[in-house]
Amino acid sequence: MKTQVESDGIVTLTKDGEKQIRNSPLYNDGLRPTNREEHNWTTYNFASLWIGMAICLPTYAMAAGLISLGMNWWQAILTIILGNCIVLIPILLNSHAGTKFGIPYPVYARLWFGSKGAHIPAVARGLIGAGWFGINCWFGGTAIDTLLQSLGGWGSIPGHTWIAFFGFWALNVWISYRGPEAIRRMEFWAAPTLIIMGLALLVWAVTKAGGWGPMLSAPSKLTTTADFLKVFFPALTGAIAFWSTMALNIPDFCRYAKSQKAQVIGQSVALPTTMGGFSFIGVAVASATVVIYGEAIWDPAAVLAKFSPLAIFLGTLGIILATLTTNVAANVVAPARAVENLAPRRMSFGAGAIITGVVALLMQPWYILENFGNYIFLWLGTYGALLGPIDGIAIADYWLVRKRRIHLTELYRPDGMYSYKSGYNMRAIWAMLIGIAVPFVCKQIPGLTIVWDNAWTCGLLISLVVYTWLMKDNPSLMSAADYENITARSAGQRAS
């Protein structure tokens, strides 16, 4: 029986396939495969998604963190661009699966970890998403607090910073609760608005300072190659880890892609250019403030606070918009879907959004951002080491092990071919643990710390190799003939 149909590289369920899974305990409307009409995201939608997510206060501050560690401006910017070009590779590899089969990340994870084991990578990604949600709320809330203080009176209110933070947190949770479809509409018009506001800030800084300022001519404090590499590799891991979360759950968005071409071009153009460009704006504006105000001001809110009341008002709206577009898209969808996947018949996306907001508070973002050392090395570096192996398993499973052949209805059967033993694929669990353990062990061994400094990359490659080897001849694999038996094709469609 044909349970799925492939047309122009997009696989959807047939009516028989839909009937088979509709009553499954692993099914709900948010976790089901998308239908053909829902594949409507264009190249611009993906470009605007990444522009909206990348233009945020953490991006603005990222180059500042690298410069504080001793890099000059161009070393910091190139490190960020290189890191984003590297993480773009797994993003595009995992995007292919989401686009072709229309499944969200937790369902995609059932392939590698099993129907129950999928909670491991889904919750891991979800916890980090919640952490990022809190970080962005703290960035945005404290920025709003700074701007309100500049207007007078607000600073005399007891606990004003916490009021601004919790108010902004509540706004983020409320908008997230409305659901993921709002993301495409919001990003569509937010992306050009944020670009214009960022460029306006850059033009003001260069004009007011009468040039680019002293910071852009300041030499690197890392005078030897050894000194530079000691900072470069963990900084590169931090730059990669910045979006390694999205490398995992990008199927949550690409399941709506109109075509593979649309998602590849949109993401490839927007991600590295926006991250590099907005980081440069942060460096250039901070450099100009040395000339204008006699000190380097890395906080864009502190810069805006020196403007006129109208400019402060517009800047506040810009900060709110920048943080919302990042938080709703990048940091809520994955944890909300993970919560849905825990109990598909009882949990909704809205409930997941609320739980995400609560967990974000418990993770204390104010501590993570206490200094740039915590931000670059503790937060970004550590979770990069945890997610790299999962990225490796995902890539290996789809491209090397299954060769892009998936039986959609089996993903929704608790006792199906992707349930393995009692719902857990122990081969994936072992591959993940090995990929995590090797960098952690190398961190403790003199001379091998470079493995830890590149933990995301090393963990990805280790788990990719181990998982591919462990999954040889696994019963869950389908041959090309098996795939053809369940897949109908539209006229002129060839096997892919």
Strands (E), 103-183: none
Q: Among 79, 72, 68, 78, which residue's Cα sits nearest to residue 217? A: 72
Q: Which has more pLDDT, 127 or 86?
A: 86
Output the pTM of the full model. Answer: 0.88
The confidence score (pLDDT) of residue 287 equals 81
Q: Among 401, 484, 393, 383, which residue's Cα sits nearest to residue 432? A: 393
Edge to edge, what strands does the sheet with 10-13 contain? 10-13, 4-7, 487-489
Q: 305-345: per-residue pLDDT in tens?
A: 888 888 888 888 888 888 888 888 888 888 888 888 888 88
Q: 354-412: per-residue pLDDT in tens?
A: 999 999 898 888 876 666 555 555 666 677 788 899 999 999 999 999 999 999 999 99
Give the span between the Cα atoms of 165 and 372, in whole angstroms.
Answer: 20
The confidence score (pLDDT) of residue 235 equals 86
Of 8-22, 99-113, 261-275, 343-357, minimum mean pLDDT range: 343-357
- Residue 197: CB atoms within 10 Å: 18
The two three-digit tokens of residue 245, written as one number: 């979360």
Instruction: Give every CB contact of residue 209 below 8 A, 6+ residues apart in sequence.
Output: 287, 288, 289, 291, 292
Beta strands at 4-7 and 10-13: parallel, antiparallel or unpaired: antiparallel
Q: Among 312, 306, 362, 360, which residue's Cα sits nearest to residue 335? A: 360
Mean pLDDT across 109-136: 90
The confidence score (pLDDT) of residue 426 equals 97
The confidence score (pLDDT) of residue 428 equals 98
Q: Which CATH class is domain 42-384?
A: mainly alpha
- Give yes or no for residue 263 having a pLDDT over 90: yes
- DSSP code of 11? E
- Give yes or no for residue 496 having a pLDDT over 70: no
Three-state secondary structure call for residue 102: coil
Q: 37-69: per-residue pLDDT in tens?
A: 999 999 999 999 999 889 887 788 787 778 877
The answer to whether 113 and 424 are in contact (CB under 8 A) is: yes
Mean pLDDT across 187-205: 84
The two three-digit tokens of residue 231, written as one number: 């900072």
